[in-house]
Amino acid sequence: DAKTTQPTSMDCAEGRAANLPCNHSTISGNEYVYWYRQIHSQGPQYIIHGLKNNETNEMASLIITEDRKSSTLILPHATLRDTAVYYCIVRVERYGNKLVFGAGTILRVKS
């Protein structure tokens, strides 16, 4: 599975959009981009995933560049409860393939 690169940490003001970047320059055509987050002392939580097209759900939006070498997770109106470690994961959806977590980005939402 392709490797991802994320900033170590980011700050965001409460109520503003949080834009979390992820580079995956070696992504292959059948690899999806997934985002999970881990709030302190909790288990990881699935946020969103996509292949080529931009995706949106009730939690966030995922913007994938046309060349698929990078993506951005957008939390449209960040709240204090969005403070967490955000993981960008690239993987092929196939039987037996596991989720591999990197170091992620620590997002701190501040009032």
Partner 1 sequence: DTAVSQTPKYLVTQMGNDKSIKCEQNLGHDTMYWYKQDSKKFLKIMFSYNNKELIINETVPNRFSPKSPDKAHLNLHINSLELGDSAVYFCASSLSLGMTEAFFGQGTRLTVV
Q: Which is nearer to partner 1, 17 or 103 (CB)?
A: 103
> Least distance (Å) from partner 1 to the CB of residue 19?
22
> Least distance (Å) from partner 1 to the CB of residue 107?
14
Q: Which is nearer to partner 1, 81 or 94 (CB)?
A: 94
Q: Which is nearer to partner 1, 20 or 34 (CB)?
A: 34
| Separation in Å, CA 85 to CA 50, 68, 104 | 19, 23, 6
> Least distance (Å) from partner 1 to the CB of residue 54?
17
Residues near partner 1 (CB under 8 A) are 32, 34, 38, 41-46, 49, 85, 93-101, 103
Q: Which is nearer to partner 1, 24 or 34 (CB)?
A: 34
Contact 84, 39 (CB under 8 A): yes
> Least distance (Å) from partner 1 to the CB of residue 15?
28
Contact 51, 80 (CB under 8 A): no
